[in-house]
Structure 1
Amino acid sequence: MKSLSFLAGGIALLAPLAAFADGSFPMLNSETSLEVQNDGIVRNSDKATGTYDDMHLKVEQETGLFLTPEFGIKSQLVLEPLMTPDGDRFFANNGLYLEQLYAQYRTDVAGIYAGKFDPLFGRAYDNAPGIYGTDFAGDYELTEADGVGGIADFGNDRVGHYELKAAAFTLDTTFLSESLFTRPNGTNPRTDRPRRFTRDQGGLYNTGDLNNFTADVNMFGLAAIPDLTAYVSFESLGNGTPGAARQTGVAAGAEYAIDLGDDVSLVPRGEYAHFDNVDGDKATNADYVTASVELDKGPWDVAVIGGIRKFNSTDPAADYTDHLREISAGYTFENGMKLEVSAAGESDAGTDATLIGAKLSWSLRNP
């Protein structure tokens, strides 16, 4: 296993420099994504934390080594801050870790994969527009799981096309979860991702067994509404903390691209997610809503994003509701580089903050 990890890391790092681009197999391809982002917290009701400026980056290197058209090995390396800032920060606290490394066999109608991967549940943590639109949904994104999964495609142009994904998994607590450079302790309150996951840390899907499950159905290409995409996801997650309950959740969302003509389109998106036994607490359930409307014209886009995060407890005094309100604008240059600016108001368990953000992002594919 250790040699496989080093091999995957070497492939991922060298992929931008070499690829079999003539269409023959084996074939090596890659995509490198880079984001440079500045968050200015200009108002904060938490006086202890106060206002601050956070300049940081995120780099993702995704690599695919395809031995045949159907069989391949995929990896994803991530470099990003692994700690929450405690004041002004300038490109600090960056850690490198392996988020995914799995083998997949897939045909036009079905597939199977195994290894370390990100189980699919919901989409808003990935596809909400703006700089901060993904913040609330990021609470329930699932990453770095060891297990197996399957894919099935069915349908046609009349009734729509459907993709079913299902997986059984546990949190990766092997040496593959080690991070480099910044390696924060799991007990540090500023830690976003510990130096390594271990079983004694407990938590969601950290059970050591393949007794955590997700299932997702994605629908698109419906003849009557060809530009509509909709999905439903389900999860059932055990907990490695003694006495904790199993968390269950369901998420549903849709996106619809409306062509207004003259190179103008309007794209409303929405996702709702509900969870019982949040983080293993039998007394708590939660509801999330992420909604947005994006207007695109040529290289320009403008979006309005809203979010609600509501926690309900058997103790009414413990109930609270968070809100997210954001307006964002972006411009995509001819070379694919994109510049975004956002202004957002965000609450978190009674603490309110105003953020002004800017992000520059671009990606390079080979081939």
Structure 2
Amino acid sequence: MTKFLLIAGGAALGLTATTADAFETGRLSGYLSIEVENDWTFDSSDPAAELNDTYTTIESGLSFDFGAGFALNSTLVLEPIRDATDDRFFEDHGAYAEELFFSKELGTAELKLGKFNPDFGFAWDIAPGIFGADFAEDYELTERVGGAVAVPFSAAGGEHVFSVGVFNADRSVLSNSLGSRRGQTSLGDGGVSNTNGAESWTATLSGEFGQTAYNFGVQHQAAGAGNNTDQDGVVLGAIHTFDAGSTALELLAEVAYFNHFDGTTNSATFTTLGLAAPVGPVTLSGVYSLRDVDGASSADNLFTVSAEMELFDGMIGALAYRYGDEASVDSHTIGTLLAYEF
């Protein structure tokens, strides 16, 4: 199955350098991704939203193998730690540990203990184009502390993985950042899964049948300080690749529902539909996303289109347009991006 061509982040003009392939030196292996991006919202019904934001995102994943299937793993990130409120040029950057956990192979299964990102959905990661994942990122799970086990198996002619994780929000020193400080999380900050113990959990099933990949997951995140109730959610997504003459099309669809979103009394539904297709040397993609939260004046809508092309070896150029109708504010963004992989 081919994969969507992914350009991370929204960019009006950006230069991205990525070591796409993991390196391995003795017992140490990992990857490094360096991105420099610019977001430009050129027209909005809220004049305050018209701004230009230039920033970098650096992510490093490292794994040290102790032998016998036992390893220490980390994901370190440098990025802006707050949203832009005005034109911004390489400001508000902080470095932090998104993941730091031990893993142990148990036969074909894997056990994780420490700070990790629980599995739940995949549109937030693989929706195509520059802006395609913007709404789905609202339910991405990151920086939780606890444990998880993943068990791969074969069934019905396909390969699958069943995983379960239990966790709470990270409140250790690792929840802070270097450079621009985001502050160490405390119980008083509230938020779902920010509890004394590992009272929250996810269970997911993912896999492939031929040209179709799927994921199904459920979650429970316990109420923290200031929350009205626990959050429960379910997600179902699929990617299918099919031939249309000489062109291979990829279609993505994912729906996530939460009965008490963010610990409130409001339910929320997220829908992401994406399509990517190569047309000669250019990959065209489009995404429509819906974010419908009870209590809001109206549902939010997102439309994006992108064109991506390999300009020469290792260099990819992209052009994209984003229309967002969010909280009754209409905004238009043009994105261009250069991505270099080495």
TM over 0.5: yes
- SS of the residue aligned with 1:320? coil
1:215 aligns with 2:184: no
Q: Is the 8 A contact 2:297 2:327 kept in 1?
A: no
- Greater strand percent: which structure? 2
Q: Is the 8 A contact 2:190 2:227 kept in 1?
A: no
Q: Which amino acid aligns with 1:302?
A: L
- Equivalent in the alignment of 1:45: 45
- Equivalent in the alignment of 1:82: 81
**For the aligned residues, what is the CA RMSD?**
2.2
1:324 aligns with 2:307: no
- Equivalent in the alignment of 2:28: 28
- Relative to the length of structure 1, the TM-score reads 0.82
User: Equivalences for 1:1-367 in 2 at 5 Å?
Assistant: 21=25, 27-47=27-47, 49-68=48-67, 70-107=69-106, 109-156=108-155, 158-183=156-181, 194-220=182-208, 222=209, 226-242=210-226, 244-260=228-244, 262=246, 264-282=247-265, 284-296=266-278, 300-313=282-295, 318-332=296-310, 335-362=313-340
Note the C-alpha offset of 1:208: 2.2
Note the C-alpha offset of 1:120: 1.0
Q: Is the 8 A contact 1:37 1:56 kept in 2?
A: yes
Identity, % of aligned positions: 30
Note the C-alpha offset of 1:91: 1.3
Note the C-alpha offset of 1:335: 4.6
Q: Which amino acid aligns with 1:241?
A: A
Q: Summarize the Cα distance change of 1:243–1:329 in structure 2 as closer, same or farther, 3 Å threshold.
A: closer
The unaligned stretches of length 5 or more in structure 2 are: 1-18
- SS of the residue aligned with 1:279? helix
Q: Is the 8 A contact 2:203 2:217 kept in 1?
A: yes
Q: Is the 8 A contact 1:40 1:356 kept in 2?
A: yes
Q: Is the 8 A contact 2:193 2:222 kept in 1?
A: yes
Q: Is the 8 A contact 2:321 2:334 kept in 1?
A: yes
Q: Distance in 1 between matches of 2:176 and 2:58?
A: 17
CA deviation digits over 1:130-168, x for unaligned, max 9? 111111011111110100000111114x53111011100
Q: Summarize the Cα distance change of 1:155–1:297 in structure 2 as closer, same or farther, 3 Å threshold.
A: same
- SS of the residue aligned with 2:267? strand
Count of residues paired in the alignment: 323
CA deviation digits over 1:103-139, x for unaligned, max 9? 1112563121100001111111110011111110111
Q: Summarize the Cα distance change of 1:361–1:211 in structure 2 as closer, same or farther, 3 Å threshold.
A: farther
- SS of the residue aligned with 2:262? helix
After the TM superposition, which parts of structure 1 deviate over 6 Å for at least 4 consecutive aligned residues? none
